[in-house]
Amino acid sequence: MEWLQQIINGISLGSIYALIALGYTMVYGIIKLINFAHGDVFMVGAFVGFYAITGFGLGFFPALILSMVICAIFGVLIERIAYKPLRNATRIAALITAIGMSLLIEYGVIYVRGAQPEAYPNVLPNTTINVFGAQISSQSLFILGISVALMIILQFIVHKTKIGKAMRAVSHDMDAARLMGINVDNTISATFAIGSGLAGAAGVIFGVYYTKIEPLMGVIPGLKAFVAAVLGGIGIIPGAMVGGLLLGVIESIVSAAGFSLWRDAAAFVILILILIFRPSGIFGKNTREKV
């Protein structure tokens, strides 16, 4: 029954990766940019939630919503300041800018508040539930429930709303979308806002689940979420969800098998294997690219 326990823990962890991976995959799907600053938006979300709970005395849900709103605004600012001027530049210029933006956010936070870690307050009841003999924490199930709800809301936005249709049109063909009267710049900003909002939510959930947060906390989860996006097929929203959940479960199984020191390495081994054997990811299709 310990395996069931590990799989539930893995799915909870994977749902956090999936929320971050969605931001990577949405931005890549529209402007073909790997936004390496995305992991740091996740970190900012964790700190916004922390200060909302400890400084303003907010509960979990108000802190979660506040974090999502501030991170959405932050994501739009990053896009407008750092990426919009490079819209027609080479891919490598945009990539280097993304890495620079990531370092600027990390060390900007360290400059403002210092590098010391913080302990997240315990805002969710954490009882143990017995399921088929496995001891599963209510916190894991609660986190999984919130993550799934956010993913369902995202699917609704993408497939049923006007901005979602615009996002899909810009993703398919930016020039044709512009000719059809779609405001491409606003659509790209909306994509950054939604992706960053989900990363902010993931930051608060991560803080509650793991307790410790610090200014460089976004580096490894950000890279793992990128692996999850590639695993599922980068640019494909359901792929990011499945990739994140799968990665979380694999990490938990590696830990349960007694190789906990290798759990971070497992993600990058998966990335190498995916790039060798299926570069387009689980849901991706091989497409020809004109050079």
Amino acid identity at 54 = T
Pick 85 or 8 by higher pLDDT: 85
pLDDT tens for each residue of 235-255: 888 888 999 999 999 988 888
Query: What pLDDT is stored for residue 263 in this prediction?
Result: 82
Phi then psi for residue 76, to 5 deg, are: -65, -40
Q: List the domain boundaries for the chain.
A: 2-277
Q: Are the C-beta atoms of residues 169 and 11 closer than 8 Å to each other?
A: no
pLDDT bracket for residue 98 (50, 70, 90) = very high
pLDDT tens for each residue of 19-39: 999 988 998 888 888 888 999
Query: What pLDDT is stored for residue 211 in this prediction?
Result: 84
Distance of CA 101 to the CA centre of its chain: 17
Query: What pLDDT is stored for residue 289 in this prediction?
Result: 52
| CA distances from residue 245 to 16, 40, 68 in whole angstroms, order as listed | 8, 21, 21
Tell me if residue 56 falls in helix, strand or coil: coil
Q: Are the C-beta atoms of residues 129 and 110 closer than 8 Å to each other?
A: no
Q: What is the mean predicted confidence (pLDDT) over 125-142? A: 76
pLDDT bracket for residue 51 (50, 70, 90) = very high
pLDDT bracket for residue 290 (50, 70, 90) = low
The residue behind tokens 């990128």 is 226
CATH of domain 2-277: 1.10.3470
| CA distances from residue 13 to 17, 81, 141 in whole angstroms, order as listed | 7, 32, 11
pLDDT bracket for residue 209 (50, 70, 90) = confident
